[in-house]
Structure 1
């Protein structure tokens, strides 16, 4: 007696059904009256603020934007001026990986007293 194998037939049927479902979903979009949504090119572009970068070398020298600074007072003055100018700006500390965590933590704490939540510690993806 001959038998009909239903598994391949059901596979084809499910594939066709999936095709029609996806096609109908792509062809019918939900429209909300005459509302035109803004695109990325229209409207004002967000101003990207350049972060203030402070570096800490392994010999303990502090750099401001790549330039060696005299001391903590220069860093504080630069940070205060930057934060007053850019309320949402970010101050980034880039510390040498060979420094002890205590040295990095001390500078980071001093920076956070001035900049609060605007201070970040940079890490290298590895």
Structure 2
């Protein structure tokens, strides 16, 4: 009879092959994943279903061309500065502070041009601003 105590060794989990497999999977995922580049985004600018434009005395339509030229109503502005725009808005605001400015900017117009119109409206004290869009193609 064998009365000696048995020495049992606990099984060991070898982590090195496990780590190797995980690194291979990680490298595979990193190489196969595609990332979006923000400089290559294709943007489609705003479209909306809107009612037909009507002639309202409180509305001042400001057009911004793609090259940064402005027109208030149907009159083109000579200058491109905020002060010139503010003066034109002041003279076109027949309803005073209740006038609504509709900014109709070209899709390729510089963002700064639209911000300049908003700044001119702020200087004159006109707070109601909206943006014109084209109707969505059905």
**TM, length-normalised to structure 1:** 0.49
Higher relative contact order (CA 8 A, sep 6+): 2
**TM, length-normalised to structure 2:** 0.46
Larger Rg: 2
**Larger relative helix fraction:** 1
